[in-house]
Each structure stands twice: as C-alpha cells, then as structure tokens.
A and B are shown apart, each in its own frame.
Chain A
Amino acid sequence: MTSETMTVVGRRVRTSVSHVLLVIVALLFLVPLVYAVSTSLKPADEVFTATPHLFGSKIQWSNYKDAFSYAPFGRYFLNSAFVAVAGTLVVVAASSLSAYAFARLRFRGRESLFVLFLGTLMVPQEVLIVPMYWLMQSLGWVDSYWALILPWAFTAFGTFLLRQFFLTVPNELEEAARVDGCGPFGSFFRIMLPLARPAIAVLTVFTFISFWGSFLWPLIIINSVDTKGTVPLGLAQFSGQAGTQWNLMMAASVMAMIPTVLLVILLQKHLVRGLLVTGLGGR
C-alpha cells in the first residue's frame, strides 16, 4: 500500500518536473521573439549593451512609427498585402475549379492528367527562376506586380488539397441537385464551394502566408524596390546598410510577423491540414 502510494507520488513528481522543464524549453524557444520585441522598443543607443536588458531606459513605442520613415515600409506593407491577396485569390479560384474537375467530373485522361499535376510538384522553384526570369523579360513583366503575383499562383498544391476534400463530400448531395436540373457550375458554386469553406480557409491562409514571406523571387524580379518592393525585400535591403538602426529593423520585423502569428493562432485547429500546403508550397 505505502509503496504503491510512493510510486504514485513519484510519478506525480516526475510529471510536474517534466512539465516545468517543458515550460522552460518553451521559454527558451521564445527568446528570439522576445528579444525582437524588446529591441524594437529600445532607444537606438541601447540596442547593444554589455549586459542583456529586457527593457531599455524607456519604452519607445515611437520606433514603430519611425520605422515607416526610416524606410518606405508603408509602401512595402501595402505591396505585400496587395500581392498576397491577389495571388491568393488566383490560387483559390484556379485550384478549386480544377479540384472539382478531378473530384467530380468524368472525362477521358483524368487520371493521367492528375498525375501530371502532381508531377509538377517535384520541380523546385530554384530550377524555375532562370527561365521564369526570361519569360518575364519576354512578356515585359520584369519589375512589375504581374511578375510578383502570377508565376507562382498556379501550383498543384491547392488542387490536390481541395480535391481530397471534395472527394469526402457525399455524392448524393450533388446527385439530388443534378436531378433538380443543376449543372456542374451550379453544383460547384451552390453545393461544393459552401461545403468546402473550411478547406478553402486553410488554403487561403497558407497561400497568403507563403506569398507574404516570399523572398527569392521578389529579390530577383523587382528592381525598383522603393516603389514595388515587398516587406521581406525591404527588410533585407535595409539590413545590408552600414549603421543599421536595429531597433527600427526589429520594429519592422515584428510588424511583418504579426499578421502571420495571428493567422496561425486563428487557424490552429487546421494546422495539420495546412502542413501539406506549407511543406510543399512554402515559397
């Protein structure tokens, strides 16, 4: 009896120790993010100090305002938001249409076409950037919003994700609609799209985030950074300069992170489904 209570107590102790250690690990993990926020609120001359301080001599909220005059971050944020929203719209529209065709319409060559779609996932972006740049030159799209939005808006990820979802929708729903005279467009818009809202939300959020964070392609294709640059491009550009104002840089970085952090928290129940989109589509 006593030995049994001992083991129970022992297990409790071990569990709580393990919990405490886990919390410490989580806190350590948070250090860079806390450091970013902390630095973003310090006066410029207190960024580098001999001893680490969480707070400077004062909390300088004005850094968040000053970042916008230090570099055209207002412009960068607008550009990033515009490009990410437009790109996401194209991705969701194109992939929900093709996903419906693969999930519900019967046509010749459907399976082999789907394999071709999936095959395109194998090609890494780094192979495509050179010919894509040439293509943009040929189209006269170098240094344009078109080039930021369209080239990466047709990937098979969205098609694959939504097709998987459409396949789980019972056929009966659509058959009933078809009997009532609903064509494919009708059942697509009236039945499938509303039902697929959760899957579309996942695709939307993860596509938005991958456009928002995209770096290599904007770096290549945008020359007029001041007017057409995106947030990552602006951050990289201004970090390269001597005498970098790190407190302002951190303020800008934190602002670049905030929308994505909010979206992750908002969509936390669906993170697992989003793995596919991020893992494969993280551009």
Chain B
Amino acid sequence: MATDTTTVAPSGPPKQAARAGRRPALRRDGRYAGIFLTPSLGGLLLFTLFPTLMALAISLFDWPVFGERTFLGIDNYTHLLHDPVFRRVVLNTVLFVVLYVPLNVIVSLGLATWVGPKIKGRQAFRVLFFIPVMTPMVANVMVWRLMFQPGGLIDSTLQSWFGINAPNFLGSSTWAMPAIVAMSVWQGFGYNFLVFSAALDQVPQSQLESAQIDGAGPLQRFRYVTWPMITPAIFFATTMTLITSFQVFAQPFILTQGGPGVATQTIVMYVYNQGWQFLTMGLASAAGWVLFVIIMAITAIQFVGQRKWVNYDV
C-alpha cells in the first residue's frame, strides 16, 4: 500500500535530478532517515535507554511498588553488601557459572570436534543438539524436574539397574546445584556446538592432512592446526555463555525455587523476590545494577584477555 504512493516517479525529469549531484540527495536522505529510524529509535529510547537510567535512579530510592518513595543515596547498595542472603546469592551464581561455562564449552567443543567436518549426517547432529536451545526453557525444565523426582526417570533407572535409590536431587543442598548445572548444559550446549562446528568447517582439510603426513597425532593436530584457527569462535562462545549464565533464572526458579533454603537462589531470583515478593523495587533495582556491573566487568576482562590468545589473522 505504501509502495503505491512512493514508487511513482515524481514529476520532473528524473534522470537529471538523480545526476544533479550528491548534496541535495544527502539532505533528502536525512529527512527519509528520520522516517526510517523513528520506530526503532523511539522504541529503544523509551524501552531501553530510559529504563537503564531509571534503573539507576530507582536503585537510589526506597521505592515500594505502591506508596511513598524516599531518597536513600547509596543505602540500597550498602544494604546489599551486608545482606547475607545477597552474598550467598552472588556466591551461588558464581558457582553456577564456574561449573556451567567450562562444562558447556568442553562438551560442545568436544562433540563438535568429534563429529568433525567430514562425517555424514553432521547436519542432523546440529539440528538435534539445537532443539532444546529453542524449545521454551520452562518446558525443558519441567521435563527435568520430573526426571529428578524421587520415582522419576533417574531414580527408577538406578533402582532397577543397580538396586540403589537416587538422592533426592532437588531437595538436597549437595545435589541441587549439580542438578541445575546438568540440566542447563543439556539445554544450552547446542548453541556452542553450532558455533564450534561452523568454525571447524573453516579449518582447511589440506593443512590437517599435511600435519598428519608429518606425523602429528590427533591431539597435536588439534593443538597446533585447529586450535589457532578457532580461537575467535571460542572467544565468542565463552563470552556469550558467561554473560547468559550470570542471568540464570528459570532453571533454579522451577527446579528448586532457590532451595533448599537459599542454596540455589541466583542473583536474578533475588531481583525477582525483592521486587515482586517483598515489593522493594529500590533494592531489586540495585541488585540488577550489581549484576550489570559484574557482567560488564567480566566482558571487559574477556576482551582485554583475548589479545593474549585469540588469533584473528589466520
């Protein structure tokens, strides 16, 4: 519909107008650019930039969902610093990250290398492993919640094969976090598998073959031929995985509700609880900003560190 009104050539000699130099075109472009950009720019200003600043502002207030707001300065942040629950929550999140990220990268890189660029049907593996990345997280978690139940798949398998009872994974402070990590690795590694197998496709077979003729074993070939060529992919994958794993929420929320006690409560769960269970938005916002700062710091460290090991010019 819009095309009809705009594609019709305006009156006047079009060829001459187009030739008439770049200046007028540039000015006209500017006006059009305004129209083209308005929806996105307006949306981003209203729904991202403004809220980012508001988050900072709210974090400086005692800001109940309803009722009087009082300016507090940095009191919310000092409160967080001394809140044993928040400290525990940060520790839990770090523990999740420390377990999840290396496992995810090892599993996905290992499998991607194993499947390799030559194998038939490797596309099937890519699709297969990518499925839980795309299916709704809540549905994935629900399946695993049932698997972890006493009498669920893991328990009944252990009972009938080995005659032993599985621990009550989700109710045990020892097992709850490993259970969350296991579920998350299953759900998430397909993403990095895809990143790595796309990168491995780019490694020239000829180089691997000549290394093999020169007597290099599989490990040496991986270390000296493959690895230098896939460091950018590894950097991308670890950075993305780090960022998203700090934001872990649905898995502990549905598997354990943060329990037992607060043993598996994460930073985002804390934000949610403060904001929508205790209705203290100021504190929730401050916790959100702490998470943001942690993520920015980690990303910055990654980017500084990459100079030492990431190779962009192979």
Given A22-B114, A135-B51: A129 touches B151 (CB 8 Å cut-off)? no
Chain A residues with Cβ below 8 Å from B58 are: 130-131, 134
Q: Which of B34-42, B95-103, B172-180, B224-232 contacts A (4 or more CB under 8 A)?
A: B34-42
Number of contact residues on A: which range applies?
A: 35 or more
- Within B243-272, which residues are at the interface with A (CB < 8 Å)? 243-244, 247, 249-250, 253-254, 267-268, 271-272
User: Is A117's CB within 8 Å of the partner chain B?
Assistant: yes
Is the interface on chain B under 10, 10 to 19, 20 to 34, or 35 or more residues? 35 or more
Q: Flag if B153 contacts A94 (CB, 8 Å).
A: no
User: Which residue of chain A is the closest to B160 with respect to CB atoms?
Assistant: A51
A180–B14 contact, CB under 8 A?
yes
Which residues of B sit under 8 angstroms from A110, Cβ to Cβ?
33
A249 to B151, CA, bound (A): 16
- Among B33, B271, B288: residue with most chain A CB under 10 A: B33
B131-167 contacts to A, CB under 8 A, are 131-140, 142-147, 149, 151-153, 156-157, 159-160
Query: Given A31-B153, A107-B30, A212–B136 Cβ distance below 8 Å?
Result: yes
* B304 at interface by CB-CB < 8 Å: no
Smallest CB gap from A234: residue in B: B138
Q: Taking the complex as formed, is A216 at the interface, i.e. its CB lies under 8 A from any CB of chain B?
A: yes
| B26 interfacial contact with A, CB 8 Å | yes
Given the interface pairs A48-B149, A268-B126, the reply to whether A32 lies near B143 with Cβ below 8 Å is yes
Say yes or no for A152: interface residue by CB 8 A criterion. yes
Is B145 touching A239 in the complex (CB atoms < 8 A)?
A: yes
List, in ascending order, chain A residues with CB within 8 A of B128's CB.
Answer: 26, 29-30
Given A253-B143, A275-B194, is A151 in contact with B136 using a C-beta cutoff of 8 Å? no
Asked if A124 and B143 sit within 8 Å, CB to CB, the answer is: no
Question: Which residues of A are found within 8 Å of B250, using beta-carbon distances?
Answer: 215-216
Interface: B2 (CB within 8 A): yes
Q: Are B281 and A130 in contact (CB under 8 A)?
A: yes
Q: Which of B4-12, B81-89, B203-211 contacts A (4 or more CB under 8 A)?
A: B4-12
Which residues of chain A from 75 to 129 have any CB-CB distance to chain B below 8 Å in the complex? 93-95, 97-98, 100-101, 105-108, 110, 113, 117, 120, 122-129
Closest chain B residue, CB of each to CB of A182: B7
In the complex, which residues of chain B have a beta carbon less than 8 angstroms from the beta carbon of A126?
A: 247, 249, 267-268, 271, 288, 291-292
Chain A residues positioned under 8 Å from B52 (CB to CB):
123, 127-128, 131
Q: In whole angstroms, what is the CA distance A86 to B12 when docked? A: 41
A272 surroundings in chain B (CB, below 8 A)? 194, 198
Contact A154 B48 (CB under 8 A): yes
Question: Are B144 and A32 in contact, CB atoms less than 8 angstroms apart?
Answer: yes
Once A35-B143, A263-B134 are accepted as A-B contacts, the answer to whether A29 and B48 lie under 8 Å apart by CB is no
Binds B, one of A2-10, A55-63, A64-72, A254-262: A254-262
| A189 adjacent to B55 (CB under 8 Å) | no
A153 at the interface (CB under 8 A from B): yes
Contact between B39 and A97 (Cβ–Cβ < 8 Å)? yes
Q: Is the CB of A127 within 8 A of B36?
A: no
A33 to B134: give the CA distance in the assembly, Å: 13
Q: Is the CB of A107 within 8 A of B33?
A: yes
Give the contacting residue for B135; candidates A47, A213, A246; CB below 8 A: A213
Q: Are A257 and B136 in contact (CB under 8 A)?
A: yes
Indicate if the CB atoms of B291 and A127 lie closer than 8 Å. Answer: yes
B119: chain A residues within 8 A (beta carbon): 19, 22
Given contacts A36-B143, A49-B151, A239-B145, contact A154 B295 (CB under 8 A): no
CB A111 to nearest CB in B, in angstroms, measures 13
Residue of A nearest to B12 (CB): A181
A200 at the interface (CB under 8 A from B): no
Closest beta carbon of chain B to A106's beta carbon, Å? 5
* A209 to B132 CA separation, bound complex (whole angstroms): 12
Residues of B within 8 A of A123 (CB): 48, 52, 292
B residues with CB within 8 A of A: 2-3, 6-7, 9-10, 14-15, 18, 25-26, 29-30, 32-33, 35-37, 39-44, 46-52, 54-55, 57-58, 63, 65, 111, 114-115, 119, 123, 125-140, 142-147, 149, 151-153, 156-157, 159-160, 186, 191, 194-195, 198, 240, 243-244, 247, 249-250, 253-254, 267-268, 271-272, 275-276, 281, 284-285, 288-289, 291-292, 295-296, 299
Q: Which 4 A-B pairs have the closest CB atoms?
A: A154-B43, A181-B9, A48-B151, A186-B7
9 contacts between A and B (CB under 8 A): A52-B153, A105-B32, A130-B284, A188-B36, A189-B6, A190-B7, A212-B136, A213-B136, A232-B137
Interface contacts beyond A235-B142, A264-B131: sample of 16 additional A-B pairs, CB < 8 Å, sorted by A: A35-B146, A36-B146, A127-B292, A128-B52, A130-B275, A131-B50, A131-B57, A131-B58, A183-B6, A183-B10, A185-B6, A236-B254, A239-B145, A263-B134, A279-B240, A282-B244
